[in-house]
Structure 1
Amino acid sequence: MTLNPSLPRSARAILPLLALPMLGACNLIVLDPAGDVARQQGNLVMMSTALMLLIIVPVMAATAVFAWRYRAGNKAATYKPDWDHSTQLELLIWAAPLMIIICLGALTWVGTHLLDPYRPLARTAPGKVVAATTAPMEVQVVALNWKWLFIYPELGVASVNELALPVDRPVQFRISSSSVMNSFYVPAMAGQIYAMPGMETKLHGVLNERGNFTGFSANYSGAGFSNMRFAVKSLDQAGFDAWAAGARGSSLSLDRAAYLKLEKPSVKAPVMRFASVERGLFDRIVNLCVEPGKMCMHDMMAIDAKGGMGRAGLYNVRQLEYDKARARGSNDQRTAATETKAYVAELCTNPDMLGKGVAAAMVRRVDLTPLIGAGLPRPRAGAANGPATAQINPVPLS
């Protein structure tokens, strides 16, 4: 804004203040959201701020009063150079902040537990209790580079960069990521929660007002991060049913092959809807086994929990780089020609186990040379040069 230089200096200083009422049109979505969970979080922020102002405002006022009262020009001020203690002042200085900290701590502790994102909603609005028989609608969320995928297992449909929800119905989000960490955030509905590859996080929320809102990633994830936004539609039941019917009328279907294409990085991806979704796709995404033939993480962990794959498993160090060589979700095309299938495709019966007890096979001496790097020989006691060996003690299996 350019001010007329011919105006008096005092007028030029006041004119910018006249523009402050225009800020009333700003949408303070965090403090005036459309969902009960976000509203409770906003109230928690306001109450915490008010409690802190109880000590901040008096301190700032006292600073100004002391600076004025004991200024150098005030000859009437009491001069006490030997003063060093006041019981009343000490009580005020320590008691007031202590009480505020106790109240703030109690408020935060209660609010943190009541607004736990993993905790199912007990109400959809003040005075509206969620019945025990009411099941929340499940939405599976996948953060891709650089777009969002929403799967509705209840409806059998999916969408990209568009989240439609019915008003006043509790929603349970199951959230994951395909490559790097992101943060799922719809300010009008609930707080943010991270989306991480190979992991699943949860968030419960509800929208109480119809309207169009915006969701985005609150965690930097690369070149297309600034455009990683999605539309949030809060609809009445009739509107939501119409949206679901429109999704079912799409010509697209989301199976594993389609997902692998969708997973490739793209910027400003348009809204897409899928009429059908392959069963169990989200669980495969979480377990990093969408590719055909790739072992899922939960299968690998189940094998490890039962003692591994025997002697042959000692050499299988590829799983330490489980998903690194695949460069899934990466925009680095240089790895496409050189990537290797660094995963276990299938399990074969260990011939050493056939007709023998587990303990008999586990006590065999195993050559550890491949594990010490480059196949170099390792000195052994009693030998000038020779392969390293180790005794594997039998481990009873349950």
Structure 2
Amino acid sequence: MGPMLRVTMRDDGHMTLPVQMGGVRLPGDSTVEHVTVDVPAPGHGQVLLRMRASSICGSDIRAIYREHLGHGAEAYQGVIAGHEPAGEVVELGPGVTTLEVGDRVAVYHITGCGSCDECRIGYPIGCTSPSRAAHGWQRDGGHADYMLAEAISCLRLPDSLSYVDGALVSCGFGTAYEGLLRGKVSGRDRLLVKGLGPVGLAAAMLGRHLGASTIIGLEPNAERASLATQLDLVDVVVTNPDDLAAAVGDATEGRGCEVTMDCSGHPAARHAALEHTATRGRCVMVGEGGRIDFAVSDLLIHKQASLLGSWVSSLGHMAELLDLLDRWGERPERVVTHRFSLADAGEAYAVAAEGASGKVVIEWD
């Protein structure tokens, strides 16, 4: 007997969907667990997506894949993994009027309560309600053949962007863009990016489009440093932290960079970002975890510098970024170095965990 199917109606006829699907969970201990689960049906205000691309984020590795470190917003609830999803709408729930079957969408990966101050301004990432849930953390994510999403969280992809582009914007590129906006990057600024992993590569790419006149990157991993050079995303790549002061000094006449961004989360890199922030400059911290200790008077007060934290993006800024990428003719997909099928998710996570690649993506035909 073949797989069971369910039939749903659409304007141009019938669509058949499987009753069950494959998916991936992350039990910890650097392990990927393949599971078979029911294909969900959309409720009020929801849509069912056929997954087309779902990329792996550094937070997945840091806080779920290796061991379950998170609490609060990062508490993993044993759901289907993957919080960077993009797919095709295949079924509409009751009350959905903003999307149609066949729409190509990227998904903002957090659903908030919808009524708190953060939700009302488009930042469900900051929602503190018990009902807040992130795909891949507290509700099923994109590492499965199908995924339920709230219609309000789905943003149509411009024709120029692929599903992989959309998946990358869903978190990594959206996070980088938000950080650059927090830092108010413009053509008046020289930009220092600490850590050229996927988010750092995104920051460099988008920083150039926002007008940064010079971009310096620090990346000790030779493979990632080489990728940044190959993609022509930075003007200067420094692989030895001991050489950073000279490189920044040469590029800025000793003044430091007007905007610095730490995408690594490493204490030494964070300290160096502050150290190389120019007087009255802005230092943005995006990399998660860890701690930092620094001389407040020397690195912050006396320089009259601004120290800014930035967490993911807003729904509005994610939509804005998709539009800008279309207008710029830019493709986030350029930073992808490895592509895998869902069946090979274990290998995909192992590659991402090595910390030497660009973006790692799970794709469907």
TM above 0.5: no
Larger C-alpha radius of gyration, 1 or 2? 1
Larger relative contact order, structure 1 or 2 (CA cutoff 8 Å, min sep 6)? 2
Shorter-chain TM-score: which interval? under 0.3
Q: State the TM-score, normalized to the length of structure 1.
A: 0.21
